[in-house]
Structure 1
Amino acid sequence: MSNKTDRTKQHIITIFFEMMDEIGFDKITVAGLSKRAKINRGTFYHYYVDKYALLEEVEEEMYSSLEQVMKDHVGVTVKSKIEQYGRANIFQFFKEACENLMIFLYERKELAQVLIGENGRPQFIERLERLYIKTVQLKLQNVSPEITESEKLQQEFIYYGVIAIVKRWLRTGARQSPEEIAEILAKSMTTSPISIFEEIESR
């Protein structure tokens, strides 16, 4: 694919997500997108059958890439890493693992902000959430396949706490750096909630 082709395709994608953020997916038409992008409709159809194909391609690329990042850096067993790094260094391990994931999202923050925004795609975000939870659970099940209902509830407390931090970060413009948000995530995962509250209240 030539550089010109790459630029044209990326331009179409950029305009598409600008419009999606402004008016929502349902109101986007190929005619309207082509006019705004200053291309003819034939150019759009050269790359995509319709707007659904465009959205699916972008979402699948993001999903598959994030899946690989998660497989590489998320879902390790805590016990194994404590044995490897020592309990005193486990915070640093979590921070480094989270940084890889946050850098990935930061590099795609404009897209992510649209997808989780008012005119976004809740089903796609839910899919990413399920991917994160599944990745962690698979690693845990390989170590301890028998998990009680109480343990499942405690795990969900952690899963959705992590997800809430990341979604808030993106929705508020990803103002903190990936390194800063990774530190917050690592602290939240390695510090008891009561200790965090105590620290806040002692200011």
Structure 2
Amino acid sequence: MSHRDGGLQGARTRRLIRDALIELVEERGFGDVTVGSVAKRALINRATFYRYYQDKYALVEEIFQEVISELPAELSPAGRISVQDRIVGWELLFDHVDRHHRLYAALLGRRGDPWFAARLRERCVDLARDRLRNVHGDIAPQAGGGMPAGELELVFAANLTLGAITWWLEHDRPLSARQMAEAVVRFATRGYFGALGLDVLPPGA
């Protein structure tokens, strides 16, 4: 858990620490980043780092909590919504990622932190689950026990979200946030075969 000194100096120090972490992850990968290297890059001593964070994982936890808190509420609206409204919601998500593209690229990329990716996936599942509850109410367990109905589909949706975000960042955001939103909604609405324009035989054909 981080300790937050108040005032502009504390905010400036945390920003220096965060920027140093991102730079080092880009250069050498999260696994090789140490508290000492972050402190050196941020031009502070280790004691100052520990004044704010227990370790590098606590730093990533704070980053995660802050960026997730900025996700627009429109991403999980109540009730059924139109395709166009879905596109607007996804566009807000990609706009959010675009604003923090360097941070997301560092922590979700090949040199990033698997913990960050896992937490983001969990958050995507939570958002999708809230959306499902808004439409259908509480999700009931499957007959005979096991995971709740629809849970596997929520995981599929979360992996689609992370995959789309990661591809977008790894390719230096070649499409606009709107184009990414339209592509994701098209895939989610039509499914794999439909989105690719492939013929699908009906069951039993």
Q: Whole-Å Cα distance in 1 between the matches of residues 18 and 112 of structure 2?
A: 15
Q: Please show how residues 35-54 of structure 1 align to structure 2 within 5 Å.
A: 35-54=40-59
Does the 8 Å CA contact 2:36/2:46 hold for their aligned counterparts? yes
1:87 alignment counterpart? none
Does the residue aligned with 2:175 lie in a helix, a strand or coil?
coil
Stretch moving more, 190-199 or 16-25: 190-199
Q: TM-score when scaled to structure 1?
A: 0.72
Q: Whole-Å Cα distance in 2 between the matches of residues 154 and 42 of structure 1?
A: 46
Deviation readout 1:115-144 (Å, 9 max, x if unpaired): 112221212212221222232223324516
Q: CA-atom RMSD, angstroms?
A: 3.1
Does the residue aligned with 2:174 lie in a helix, a strand or coil?
coil
Q: Whole-Å Cα distance in 1 between the matches of residues 169 and 126 of structure 2?
A: 22
Shift of 1:150: 8.6
Q: Whole-Å Cα distance in 2 between the matches of residues 20 and 2 of structure 1?
A: 28
Shift of 1:188: 2.0
Shift of 1:2: 4.6
Q: Please show how residues 23-42 of structure 1 align to structure 2 within 5 Å.
A: 23-42=28-47
Q: Aligned pair in 2 of structure 1 residues 140, 23: CA closer, same or farther (>3 Å)?
A: same
Does the residue aligned with 1:176 lie in a helix, a strand or coil?
coil
Shift of 1:60: 2.3
Does the 8 Å CA contact 1:48/1:54 hold for their aligned counterparts? yes
Shift of 1:113: 0.9
* Letter of the 1:126 counterpart: A
* Letter of the 2:113 counterpart: R
Does the residue aligned with 1:10 lie in a helix, a strand or coil?
helix
Paired residue for 1:92, among 84, 88, 108?
84
Q: Whole-Å Cα distance in 2 between the matches of residues 153 and 46 of structure 1?
A: 41
Q: Please show how residues 189-200 of structure 1 align to structure 2 within 5 Å.
A: 189-198=188-197
2:74 alignment counterpart? 72
Q: Whole-Å Cα distance in 1 between the matches of residues 150 and 30 of structure 2?
A: 39
Shift of 1:151: 5.9
1:55 alignment counterpart? 60
1:125 alignment counterpart? 117
Paired residue for 1:21, among 16, 20, 26?
26
2:167 alignment counterpart? 168
Does the 8 Å CA contact 2:31/2:113 hold for their aligned counterparts? no
Q: Aligned pair in 2 of structure 1 residues 48, 160: CA closer, same or farther (>3 Å)?
A: closer
Q: Whole-Å Cα distance in 2 between the matches of residues 150 and 42 of structure 1?
A: 49
Does the 8 Å CA contact 2:76/2:130 hold for their aligned counterparts? no
Shift of 1:97: 0.8
Q: Whole-Å Cα distance in 1 between the matches of residues 12 and 179 of structure 2?
A: 32
Paired residue for 2:104, among 104, 109, 112?
112
Does the 8 Å CA contact 1:113/1:171 hold for their aligned counterparts? yes
1:185 alignment counterpart? 184
How much identity, in percent, do the aligned residues show? 27
**Paired residues, number:** 186
Q: Whole-Å Cα distance in 1 between the matches of residues 38 and 156 of structure 2?
A: 42
Q: Aligned pair in 2 of structure 1 residues 23, 147: CA closer, same or farther (>3 Å)?
A: same
Q: TM-score when scaled to structure 2?
A: 0.71
**Structure with greater proportional helix content:** 1
Q: Whole-Å Cα distance in 2 between the matches of residues 55 and 154 of structure 1?
A: 28
Q: Aligned pair in 2 of structure 1 residues 176, 2: CA closer, same or farther (>3 Å)?
A: farther
Shift of 1:19: 0.9
